[in-house]
Every structure is written in C-alpha cells, then in structure tokens.
Structure 1
Amino acid sequence: MTVSTLPAENRVRLLSLDVFRGITVALMIIVNCPGNAESYAFLNHSPWNGCSLADLVFPFFLFMVGVSTVFALSASKGRLTSAQLLYRVFKRSIILFLCGLFLNVFPNHFAWETLRISGVLQRIAVCYLVAALLEISTSVRLQIFIGSVILIAYWLFMCYFPVPGFGAGNLSPQANLAAYVDRLLIPAAHLYQPLYDPEGVLSTLPAIGTTLLGCITAHILLAAKEESRLKSLFFLALILSLIGWGWGFIFPINKSLWSSSFVLWTGGLAIFAFSLCYWLIDILKKQNWCRAFKFFGANALALYMFHIIGLKLQVLIHFEREGQSLNAKNYLTQSMFGSFSPPLGSLLYAVSYMLFCGLCLAVYQETRGKIHQKISLPA
C-alpha cells in the first residue's frame, strides 16, 4: 500500500485550507438560509443549466475533502498500519453518512417508508471513502486516469445512452439518465423529488472526480518545489476551467446532474481560489483577517449540522405579526430587516444567522472547555 509522505517542512496543518473551508462554510449558510424568497440572483442556485456563486459551495467542499484526505493520510504514514487506516476511513464515512440520514429525518420525518436516503453529507461520505481508498492503494497518476475515465464515461452515458420513453441525450430533469437510474434503484418516496434526486446514485460518480481534483492539488503542493507550486496550480486551474467551459457547449454545466463540464469548471475555480488563499496566507503570511474563517473551517461539520437543525426548527416555530402567523425565520426577517428592500433584508438575515451559528458554537466550545477544566483540576 502506498501513501504519499509529507516532507518534514510541510508537516503542519495548512492555515489556508482551514480558511478556504471556512469561507465556503460561511457562504454555504448564507446561501442556504435566505430571509425570504427574493434573494439576490447570485445567491440562488441555477434553475437547471448554468453555475451561480451558490452552485460553487458543494464542489468546493468536495474539493477540500480531497485535499484534506491526502494530507491526513500522508501524516498518518508510519504511525498507523494499513488496517488502522482503513478502519478510520470507513468509520468516518459511516459517521458522515449517518449524520446525513439524521438531518433527513429531523425533526419529524421518522417514517422509514419515506426516508430520503441520499443527501449532501451522504455524498461527501461516499466521495471521501472512494478518494481515501484510492489514495491509500494507488498512485496519483492512476487517480488522474480513473478521474478522467469517470468524467468521459459519464458524459458518453448521459448524452448517448437511450432512456426508455425519452431516448438519448435528453438532459431535462425527468428524462436524463441519472434521474432514470435513481428511479430504477430507489423508490420514488425515498427521493428528494419524485422524478430525480440532485444527490442521486449516478451523479455521485462525477462528484468523486471533484474530490480527486482536490487529491491531485494536494499532491502538487507536496511534490512540487516551493517556487513552482503556485505556477503549477494556477496553470492547472486555467486549463481545467477552459476545458470545462468548452465542454459545456456539448454537455452543459449543471450542478444537479454534476456534469463533467461542471466538475472541470468548478474544479478550476476551486483550485484558483484555494491557490489564492495559499499565496496570501501561507506564503505572504497575511493572516490577521483569518481567525474567524479558520474557526469556521475547523468546525465545518458542526456548523453544517447546527445551521440545518436551526433552520428546520425556525420553520416549525410560529409567531403572530400584524394578524399573520409567520414562521420564526420570516418573523425575524420582517421584524429586524423589514425596512430594507426584500433582497437586502434577505441577505442581512442570512448573514446574521451565519454569525449567530458561529457565535453559538464558539460559546459552546468555550463553556465546554471551562467545564472540562473544573472537572479535571481536582484529579
């Protein structure tokens, strides 16, 4: 089994990775939690084809999963046996998958006959598992080959494999091959929508390609000489973005389908954004602005869970305002930001909720630390 080994000078956690992840977490909460239905267009997901700012959040997450996986496994080389590495990988994947299932059923969807099986964390769990297993057992060249085969095969199947009742090349929500496979493998009651699931089975394969781009980026950071790392990363970002943009003319850039063009387009943007953070933070040492984003990035899973749970509870809780019954989210938006235009009020609520989530987690960690100290001191 082969796992890349970190050079001695690189055996530290990249601050830029935590910060980039933290920026993505903050953007994710803002995108997921608008105060009303009249958000600014760039904070809404594209209706189908296309790629808005909101559509970058998930692929950026998967990209960072790939980068983190290589660093984590490299740091474990020599300390853990192959069996221990595999145990950790499978354990983390299962925990992520179960956390995703919990969010699907919380707070009042515990009926097994309608439980949605897929989801964001479930896709992350699968992509992490595959990327980690490949990182443990293959070379980076083989990873590049596997990723390329996945993207090309996915394009060929999606565009040229005939779907019963619709034919080949129909990429509409109900007629595309990915939706057909979801309906074939998963009962409609367990899908996000009756006709398709944006985190479905077949579309998870190219999402693995996004994660492998993160792995490849990490290997460039580990293998390349310091003076050539940024040049290599920026060049790769440019090439991937251009290929993805061009591919989009025959296989449209589409988040729900996780099209091959979407993988390369967003992968190029992710590498560019991460490289920019790496240059500013880890090379130029411009770190004064990083603290809050580092906290968000180091607690990404906790913040994801907390913001989803809080959002669902807000929809359940209702208040009276001017003779209307409003859920907590709408009530807070109208009460606090009703004097602003609807899009601005929606954004201000989302930013406030993002800050609230971070504050709650910080207070919890601080309180937990103090309680732990009080309990531990007498011993």
Structure 2
Amino acid sequence: MDDKSKFFRFEAHFKESASYLLTLNSSGYSISLTHNSDGPYHPLLYALLFYFMLLMVYLLASLLQSRMDSSSDDTETAPILRASRTSVNDISEPGPGNDQSSSSFNPATFAPATSTEAENALADTSVKQRSGKLLSLDVFRGFTIALMIFVNYGGGNYYFFQHAPWNGLTVADLVFPWFVWIMGVSMMFSFKAQFRREVTRQAIVWKIIKRSVILFSLGLVINGISNSNLTTFRIPGVLQRLGGCYLFVGIMEVLLFEAPELASAEYWGGWYMFRDLVQPWLQWSITIGLASIQAVITYVLPVPGCGRGYLGPGGLHNYGMYSNCTGGAAGYIDRLIFTSNHIYRSSTARKIYQNSVSHDPEGLLGYLTSILLLEMGVAAGRILITYDDHKNRVFRLLTWAVTSGIVGGVLCEFKKEDGIVPVNKNLWSLSYVLITASFAFILFSAFYTIIDWHKKWGGNPFCFAGYNSILLYVGHELMMGIFPFGWTPVGPYHGTYLLLALWGASLWMFIAYVCHRKQFYVSI
C-alpha cells in the first residue's frame, strides 16, 4: 500500500433485501440507499393479524356458549377461562419429558371422570388445582415447546428466529435454557410430593437415574435420524444435556432435600425471610463451584495452537489467526474426548466465518453452566413451595430476574462483542446462562400472575402442549421432513418459510389438544 492509499473501517446496519451504494474518495466514504426492501416483515404482520382474528372468533364463540349455558347452569364459565385439565398426582417433571408423577396423565392408571366431575375440573382455575399444581408452569412449558417447534421449522427464515452465528442472543437461543430452567422448577414440586408420600430417598434416586437414561437414549435416537453411521454418529445433544444435568442436580437435591415447613421461625431466627436461600447453601456451593471450574478451564486451559482464553468461532475471525480454534477450550475438550467424528459436524458460525473445525453447542464443558441454570430453576421452585403469598412469590422471582440479568449484563459489559464473558449459546457462557435465566424468571412471573394469581386466563392453548411436551418434542423431530408435517419451501421468500413454520407449530399444538381430549399423555 503506497503513501496515498487509505484504509477505512466502518460499521453499518443494512436492511434486508435492500441495495446500497458505497462511495470512496480521498476525504472519506459514504453509504447511500439505492433500493429499499420490499417489506420483509409483512408476512409476520399478516400472520399476527390472522391469529388475532382466530382469537377473536374463539373468544366470541366462547362468549356465546357461556351465555347459552348460563340459562341452564349459572355457574358454568367460558371455555377460555377454564383450566383445561383434571387432577393428577403432582406437578410436571422435566421438560421436554414428563415423568409419571408429572402434570401429564398416565393412561395406565387414569380412570375417566364422570361428566359432572369433568365439568368441575374444567371450571377449576385455582392456583393449586385439586392437587396443588401450578398451571402457569405447564403453560410456560407449552409456550416453550411451541416456540421450539416454530424455530426448528425455520422460523420464517428471519434472523431473530435463527441461532446467533456466534456471540449474541436471539429468540431461538432462549428455548433450550428455558427447558432446563423449567426442569428445575418441576423438580422441587415432584420431590416434595414424593417425600410427603413417604417415598424413600433411594427410590427417588432410582427414578432419577431411570429418567435420565431414558432422556439420554431418546437423544441418541433423535441424533440417529440424520446420521446412523456409527463411525460418525453424534453423541452430544439436547436431551442428552437435559438427562445429564437432571441426573446430577436431581440426586444432589434428593440427598440434601429438607421440607421447608419442618423448620420453624424460631429455628431460622433472623434468616427466616431468606430460608429459601440459606437452607440449600451446600447445593449452591457445589453449583457455583462447578460454574467456577468452567470459567477457569475456559480462560486458563492452554489449547494447542490457540493459546489461552480464546472464545471465538475460528475460521476468518481475527483475520484467521485462530482458524482451527473454534470454541476455544470447550471445542478442544469435545474434539479430544469424542473426536471430531462424534460431535456436531457443522457450526452456526460457518456461513459467516467459514470455519472448518467441528464444534458441538451441547458439548461437555457446557454441562457445568447448565447445572447452574437448572439450580436457578430449582430456586424458583423452592420459592413456590416455601412461601404461600402470591405477592411475596412474584417479588422474589422478579428479584432473581433482576439480579441474574444485571450480573449477566456486567459479565458481557452490556454489549455483544468484546465483553469479559460474551453471551454465547455455543459455549453456554456464564453470561448467557444468567441472562436467559433472567428472561425465564420474568416470563414465568408474568404467566403466574395472570393465570394462577389473578386467574385471568386458563392457559389455552399452550397448556395442552405443556402436558405432552415429550411427545411433541420427539414427534416433531421424527416427522419434520415428512409431508404433511413438513415440506421444502418454494423460493427464498419469508412468506413461504413462515407458512411452513406456522403450519408445523400449529399442527403439533392441535395434536396436543386432540391428545388432551383423548386423555392420551406420554410421560417418562
């Protein structure tokens, strides 16, 4: 480059499908818009209007039905306000899978209710429905599985419904952490119910082991859909991560579990108001210790050819200085233990950074921070089984939301790149775990307030999906490529991709509703 040459570096946000003119001269550069995009978000608007019209029609039909029924039974309520389920043993177990003591029915043991009993159950929108369950948790699980199906069907090919290429956070990146968090909440209710029935700790541990093995095995089956070649078979996966974390945290919580009502105010003294935090001090010590180990390994472990502390995607990142270092220490450990043949063969960063090294977003090092996220869900469940007042519960949940959100923001320095601990799903970084947990606390608090506290909504239609989450998860993974469950969209248009995603999510929601009407539930 001679003395008259200049180097310009700039950042710009370009609109989708638009055209720009870049002008360079001796004094600088300019960027001008020459052709605006043709409304890439119009399909989203049309879809929202369509579903809004469906909602209005449903509400109108419900209102008419309610008025017609009121002439014969003044106590009948509109279906939209009904809690659409009968009683079960206790609250849900891990999402996407539910166990036999979850909010899912066990067809082998369920006896159909009489019509009067069923109507009473449908009309019951109390917080502790007939057997002490929170409908809002099933709704949150159902909302999350519906969002997962929508995203897995392509999300209309919108960038915010796709996983972030590397650092950053999109809607798609929220789904998996929410399932981990929900698993923790469910765990507390399940364990409390089993201890009340005087089930031994040993028996509960064996149930945990069984469910963990089933989840892990189902994950392997799903991996085999795309590749059954044993020489290149992928071992890590979503259900494998859920099963492994559930195994560790579940056994830890069972062995150290103490019913909150056993200790009086005199026992706790000045710590009575914080007993949900103080009582599990050992669990928190172990969990935080594991997260600390993850941080130390990530930043201190020397990776051959990459040095210490590299967190990038490799490839073209940093001008190719770390082209074979995708994932840093996390990627190195997975490739060392599983080899490149048995982990995710692609990468969300490959399209941009053109990295050739395999990296698995569900790798081993991420288990340590996933356990922390699961324990934060346990903390939410512990709040719900310890305190009875609605306002107190919501205040504590939102306190967790604010605290975890601020700490996560500080770690990433409230920016996408160059923070101390960037928000990164591929690495399951500590900031990513804390921020997604913050969103989980906020959204669950909203569902809890509307559904279980103020009883303004019965949870339809998401509650149906929440009752049968494992069926929907495994089912959509198996059937996604088979018509009419899925097809190849025609043309590179958001409208055709959005139609596919909405069809897939709506179809599986309808299947969940039919299963609920038939009292058919799949549980682990």
Please indicate the TM-score interval, normalised by the length of the shorter structure: 0.7 to 0.9
Equivalent position of 2:457 in the other structure:
287
- Which amino acid is 2:286 matched to? I
Query: Take 1:109 and 1:175, find their aligned partners in 2: how far apart are those partners?
Result: 23
Query: Take 1:360 and 1:41, find their aligned partners in 2: how far apart are those partners?
Result: 28
1:11-69 Cα shifts (integer Å, max 9, x gaps): 51210000011111111011110276xx1221011100011111000000100001111
1:151-176 Cα shifts (integer Å, max 9, x gaps): 23222221222211100111123251
Pair 1:17-2:137 in alignment? yes
Q: Normalised by the size of structure 2, how large is the TM-score?
A: 0.62
Pair 1:310-2:473 in alignment? no
Out of 93, 96, 107, the residue aligned to residue 215 of structure 2 is: 96
Equivalent position of 2:104 in the other structure:
none
Out of 479, 487, 491, the residue aligned to residue 329 of structure 1 is: 487
CA contact (8 A) 1:166 1:175 kept: no
- Which amino acid is 2:506 matched to? L
1:69-120 Cα shifts (integer Å, max 9, x gaps): 11111111042112211111111111111111111112x6332222111110
Query: Take 1:175 and 1:236, find their aligned partners in 2: how far apart are those partners?
Result: 30
CA contact (8 A) 2:148 2:175 kept: yes
Q: Where does structure 1 lack aligned partners over 5 or more consecutive residues?
A: 1-8, 318-326, 370-379
- Which amino acid is 2:340 matched to? A
Out of 246, 250, 253, the residue aligned to residue 410 of structure 2 is: 246
Out of 336, 347, 354, the residue aligned to residue 505 of structure 2 is: 354
Equivalent position of 2:318 in the other structure:
none
- Which amino acid is 2:487 matched to? K
CA contact (8 A) 1:152 1:260 kept: no
Higher relative contact order (CA 8 A, sep 6+): 1
**How far apart are residue 349 of structure 1 and its match?**
1.8
Pair 1:144-2:284 in alignment? yes
Indicate the structure with greater helix content. 1
Query: Take 2:400 and 2:234, find their aligned partners in 1: how far apart are those partners?
Result: 37
1:110-158 Cα shifts (integer Å, max 9, x gaps): 3222211111011010111111111112252222222222223222221
Query: Take 2:486 and 2:504, find their aligned partners in 1: how far apart are those partners?
Result: 12
Q: Normalised by the size of structure 1, how large is the TM-score?
A: 0.84
Equivalent position of 2:307 in the other structure:
167
**How far apart are residue 364 of structure 1 and its match?**
5.3
**How far apart are residue 224 of structure 1 and its match?**
2.8
Pair 1:184-2:336 in alignment? yes
- Which amino acid is 2:309 matched to? G
1:311-331 Cα shifts (integer Å, max 9, x gaps): 1445xx9xxxxxxxxx9622x
SS in 2 for 1:257: coil
Query: Take 1:190 and 1:358, find their aligned partners in 2: how far apart are those partners?
Result: 33
Percent of matched pairs sharing the same residue: 36
Kindly tell me the number of residue pairs found equivalent between the two proteins.
340
Query: Compared with structure 1, are the counterparts of its residues 359 and 261 closer, same or farther at alpha carbon in structure 2 (3 Å cutoff)?
Result: same
CA contact (8 A) 1:51 1:253 kept: yes
**How far apart are residue 368 of structure 1 and its match?**
7.8
Query: Compared with structure 1, are the counterparts of its residues 250 and 35 closer, same or farther at alpha carbon in structure 2 (3 Å cutoff)?
Result: closer
Query: Take 2:408 and 2:515, find their aligned partners in 1: how far apart are those partners?
Result: 42
- Which amino acid is 2:440 matched to? A
CA contact (8 A) 2:481 2:487 kept: no
Pair 1:278-2:436 in alignment? no
**How far apart are residue 362 of structure 1 and its match?**
4.0
CA contact (8 A) 2:486 2:500 kept: no
1:337-370 Cα shifts (integer Å, max 9, x gaps): x7xx82233223211111112223444565686x
Query: Take 1:256 and 1:103, find their aligned partners in 2: how far apart are those partners?
Result: 20
Equivalent position of 2:380 in the other structure:
217
Query: Take 1:291 and 1:328, find their aligned partners in 2: how far apart are those partners?
Result: 24
CA contact (8 A) 1:66 1:215 kept: yes
Q: Where does structure 2 lack aligned partners over 5 or more consecutive residues?
A: 1-127, 257-278, 314-325, 346-356, 413-418
CA contact (8 A) 2:486 2:504 kept: no
What does 1:107-122 align with in structure 2 at a 5 Å threshold? Answer: 109-122=227-240
Out of 264, 279, 297, the residue aligned to residue 157 of structure 1 is: 297
Query: Take 1:225 and 1:99, find their aligned partners in 2: how far apart are those partners?
Result: 37
1:218-269 Cα shifts (integer Å, max 9, x gaps): 1111223513111111111001001001101201010010001111111111
Query: Take 2:337 and 2:515, find their aligned partners in 1: how far apart are those partners?
Result: 41
CA contact (8 A) 2:139 2:463 kept: yes
CA contact (8 A) 1:127 1:211 kept: yes
Equivalent position of 2:154 in the other structure:
34
Equivalent position of 2:169 in the other structure:
51
SS in 2 for 1:137: helix
Pair 1:128-2:291 in alignment? no
Structure having the higher Rg: 2
Pair 1:230-2:394 in alignment? yes
SS in 1 for 2:428: coil
SS in 1 for 2:487: helix
1:160-207 Cα shifts (integer Å, max 9, x gaps): 222111001111232510101001110211111252211111112111
